């Protein structure tokens, strides 16, 4: 019997070590399972929170990377332009409120200096529908019956006759309608710098 003891003791030691290793591995796997379950529990709420604060806006014109961008609430026009790589050298921004906060589905169009000059000239162009007929100072665009300013056809002088509309906002109105004519006077609020308060002051004096 004594001669077997020297074999039994090492075998017991090996069994104890093996049991210790198995127990440790089980504990580690259990901790990982708990952590994975915790992550899978909190991730949906985190994702939902981020998505509800994000929306899309469309940036066009004289920027280095025009396109549709996903931005967070509180983003201003200038930050959007920075996301697009900045302005091109010939960009015109006097008609844009760079500090204005963006809203969902906003469309920002940055014109070039040459485009603005072309829209503000009285010289006949190759596209008279967009430029010449819209800009000529001699054109009468106020209805004889209602005396309302037609924002789709009014000249720069007529637009600046409206309360709160200076030359830069008048140019912005012209720039907007060259791309898409106004379908309603409420669309005027789509233009940077024309908010609810200014719109309320002029809505009774304009038409489409």
Position 1 pLDDT exceeds 60: no
Local structure of 69: helix, strand or coil: strand
Q: Give the closest residue to 136 by CA, choosing from 148, 124, 151, 150.
A: 124
Spans of all domains in the chain: 1-52, 53-110, 120-208
Strand partners, 149: 142, 206
Instruction: Report residue 120: phi and psi, to 5°.
Output: -100, 10
- Please check whether residue 57 is in contact with residue 63, taking contact to mean a CB–CB distance below 8 angstroms: no
| Architecture of the CATH domain 120-208 | Orthogonal Bundle (1.10)
Residue that is written with structure tokens 């930050």 in the block:
79
CATH architecture group of domain 53-110: Roll (3.10)
Global pTM value = 0.41
Report the percent of the chain where pLDDT is more than 90: 25
Angle (nearest 5°) at CA 109 between 69 and 135: 170
Q: For position 68, what pLDDT does the model report?
A: 92
Confidence of residue 126 (pLDDT cuts 50, 70, 90): very low
pLDDT class of 29 with cuts at 50, 70, 90:
low
Higher pLDDT, 118 or 194: 194
- Cα–Cα distance, 57 to 3 (Å, whole number): 86
């Amino acid at each position: 019997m004594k001669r077997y003891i020297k074999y039994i003791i090492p075998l017991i030691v090996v069994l104890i070590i093996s049991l210790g290793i198995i127990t440790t591995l089980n504990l580690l796997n259990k901790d990982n399972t708990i952590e994975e379950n915790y992550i899978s529990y909190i991730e949906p709420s985190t994702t939902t929170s981020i998505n509800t604060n994000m929306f899309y806006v469309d940036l066009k014109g004289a920027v280095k990377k025009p396109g549709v961008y996903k931005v967070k609430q509180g983003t201003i026009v200038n930050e959007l332009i920075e996301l697009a790589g900045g302005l091109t050298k010939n960009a015109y921004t006097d008609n844009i409120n760079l500090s204005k906060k963006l809203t969902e589905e906003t469309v920002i169009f940055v014109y070039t200096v040459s485009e603005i000059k072309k829209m503000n000239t009285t010289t006949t162009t190759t596209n008279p529908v967009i430029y010449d007929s819209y800009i000529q100072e001699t054109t009468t665009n106020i209805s004889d019956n209602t005396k309302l300013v037609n924002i789709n056809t009014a000249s720069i002088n007529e637009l600046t006759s409206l309360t709160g509309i200076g030359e830069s906002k008048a140019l912005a109105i012209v720039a907007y309608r060259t791309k898409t004519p106004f379908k309603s006077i409420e669309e005027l609020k789509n233009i940077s710098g024309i908010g609810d308060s200014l719109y309320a002051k002029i809505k009774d004096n304009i038409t489409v």
